[in-house]
Amino acid sequence: MKNFEYKNPTKIIFGKDTIPKLNAELPPNAKILMLYGGGSIKKNGIYDQVSQALAGFEVIEFGGIPPNPEYAILMKALEVIKKENITFLLAVGGGSVIDGTKFLSSAALFEGDEPWDILSKRIRTNKGMPFGTVLTLPATGTEMNSGAVITRAETKEKFSMGGPGLFPAFSILDPNVIKSIPKRQIANGIADAFTHVLEQYMTYPVGALLQDRISESIIQTLVEVAPKMLEEDFDYTTASNFMWACTMALNGLIQKGVPTDWAIHMMGHELTALYGIDHARTLAIIAESHYKYNLEDKKEKLAQYGERVWNITEGTLEEKAQKAIEKTTAFYQSLGIKTKLSEYTQDYKGTAETIANRFEERGWKGLGERQKVTPKDVVKIVEMAY
């Protein structure tokens, strides 16, 4: 096991009817900017619940943060923060609203001239404006981690940011919010959380027995709840397991003491930036070819996952690893998610070179747990995903 340090300061308030608890978590005398997305919260009752919980506080609202939170829109929210002397941010939404809020938390205290530098120059945020979240869509894990991903339509770029200053002070997770989520987004959430575990697990063995078992159990939980989550009827117990599994998949715990990959996400983000494909779907497009291409480096963990998650007991290590990749693709497809780029766009030729060139321009020499997936390898992996 590798050395590690672990600190996660986010307070999680989990369960039925927990949104009213928001009131007690807010700093007294805070001037709050409440941020939300395209309006789903106004239709499903979450807006009303949050508004009631904010009684007694001075609150300004900023709605309209789109999926894949857009820099230009966030810059308008930043103006409001400065003009109104906001002291606390409250995100009510899914990954996009929460990530947008994290950017604002950082940008509000940023001393440079150009907040885009936080993303393009990968400036870490050690201190941000304090913020809390009411999660409306389990998927990304952003409610309990210190990362964010921001999009800039003008340049078709999608960049990550983060730092210890970007953990939410608190996150409220009421599984009942899941009732109104369209099945397409539920499928995305399952696929995203599933891939988050893979990115922190499918590397090479380092004798981290507990991390491996926790990762496998998060995956097994997602696989178990997936069919029920896609049924019409809402089941609270299933929803609560789904929600907590998504949070646990990316709150820092399972990555401690182990190598991590994240190359699928790096390539996937480019597909969203170029074609607007939902984040989770880009991961389903890349995963199979990434694992096939890097089979030699990942075969031990692939075979272990195949045995423990998918009960693949026959064959050599390589055969088990191959079967595990097939099972992974079949799982994405069981969610109704297509796994080839050509199933999303007809305009895919040249995508592999475009992505590799972008990585080269940014000076990204090697991705993955061994930093050995070069732009040349990226060309091959993305081509295999056509």
What's the min distance (Å) between Cβ of 98 and Zn ion?
13
x/- map, 141-160, ligand NZQ, by CB under 6 A = xx--x-xxx-----------
Is residue 50 at the binding interface for ligand NZQ, with CB under 6 A as the rule? no
- 352 vs 10, 38, 293, CA distance in Å? 38, 32, 14
Of 177 and 302, CB closest to ligand NZQ:
177
**Closest separation in Å from C-beta 188 to ligand NZQ:** 5
Indicate the residue among 142 and 329 with the shorter CB distance to ligand NZQ: 142
Query: Residue 8, CB half-sphere, CA atoms under 13 Å: how many?
Result: 21
Residue 230 CA: distances (Å) to CA of 61, 83, 140, 220, 278? 33, 44, 18, 16, 18
- Rule CB under 6 A: say whether 140 interacts with ligand NZQ: yes
CA of residue 363 relative to chain centroid, distance: 24
Binding track, positions 153-192, relative to Zn ion; x by CB under 5 A? ---------------------------------------x
Residues in the chain: 386
State yes or no: residue 63 binds ligand NZQ (CB under 6 A). Answer: no
180 near ligand NZQ, judged by CB under 6 A? yes
**Quick check: 95 binds ligand NZQ (CB under 6 A)?**
yes
* Residue 99 binds to Zn ion (criterion: CB under 5 A): no
CA distance 232 to 332: 19
Q: Is 203 in the site for ligand NZQ (CB under 6 A)?
A: no
Q: Interface residues with ligand NZQ (CB under 6 A)?
A: 37-41, 44, 67-68, 93-97, 99, 136-137, 139-142, 145, 147-149, 177, 180-181, 185, 188, 192, 250, 265, 279
